Amino acid sequence: MSQLEKAKEFNSLHHKDAPLVLYNIWDAGGAKALADAGAPAVATGSWSVAAAQGYKDGEAIPLDFVLQIAERIAATVDVPLSVDFEGGYASDPDTVTENVRKIIQAGAVGINFEDQRVGGEGLYDVDEQVQRIRAVRAAADAEGIPLFINARTDLFLKAGSKGDHAALIDDALTRGAAYADAGADGFFVPALTDPGLIRKVCDVSVLPVNVMMRGPLNSLKALDGLGVSRASFGPGPYATAMTDLVERYKAL
């Protein structure tokens, strides 16, 4: 498939209550293994990509290295590739556009794009993040690729597992609506794991909703009837693989 065909295919894989399952990978070998196993698309996790190369998460791994890894994955598999692009390696919209053009040129047809200030404090306010998402869309338009922009809000991650997630729902929905108007294609709510709250977001959101499988979301069956369109696993697969590696070494 051409990159344009992959982009259209990736967009078409998001269906409410029939979620696209993305078991996040960190290199070309893992991407090929999953593609050969029948995965319709592959997606990186930023934490996993960084850790696999000895870096911490949070854009510590150099952008050029991320581009090289993405290019290698895209060249290895013939399925759509989505890249966890964190905050776009920039705060200002012009540089965001420049960097997103680079990740598209590397072969990505989708990105995760978060609203936390990477390396800083808190989240971008809604208006700032709207401008940043518009900058992402401008990059996609310039490249002629209908990039799937998975707009991620870090409200629930920042609150932590013991935070009052219910009190954040209205803020999250406000952000999701604004991000949709700015050109986003999906709404990612990592760390939101309460089924009732997830259902509320899915009922209101005009965008396909992406959840991260963790905590109570310990199986795909846990998503039944919630309206989720995409389920991703974040750093889980990498952590599992490394645990298995260590256990097998210790058992020698």
**Tens digits of per-residue pLDDT, 52-92?**
999 999 999 999 999 999 999 999 999 999 999 999 999 99
* Residue 110: Cβ-neighbour burial (10 angstroms; 0-12, 13-18, 19+): buried
Sequence-distant (6+) residues with CB within 8 A of 143 are 101, 104, 105
Residue 201 pLDDT level (bands cut at 50, 70, 90):
very high
- Residue 196's domain spans which residues? 3-250
For residue 77, the Cα-to-chain-centroid distance in whole angstroms is 19
Percent of the chain at pLDDT above 90? 99
Stated pTM of the model? 0.96
pLDDT at 33: 98
CATH number for 143: 3.20.20.60
Identify the three-state secondary structure at position 43.
Answer: strand
- pLDDT for 145-158, tens place per residue? 999 999 999 999 99
The Cα 205–Cα 188 span in angstroms is: 11
- Return all residues near 27 (Cβ < 8 A) that are at least 6 apart: 49, 52, 69, 72, 73
Which pLDDT does position 78 carry in this prediction? 98
For residue 161, what pLDDT band results from cuts at 50, 70 and 90? Answer: confident
CB atoms inside a 10 Å sphere around CB 107: 21
Virtual CA dihedral for 52, 102, 116, 24, nearest 10 degrees? -40
pLDDT at 135: 98
With a CB cutoff of 8 Å and minimum separation 6, the contacts of 178 are 126, 129, 130
Q: Phi and psi for 150 in degrees, rounded to 5? A: -95, 95
- How many folded domains does the chain comprise? 1
Please tell me the predicted confidence (pLDDT) of residue 182. Answer: 98
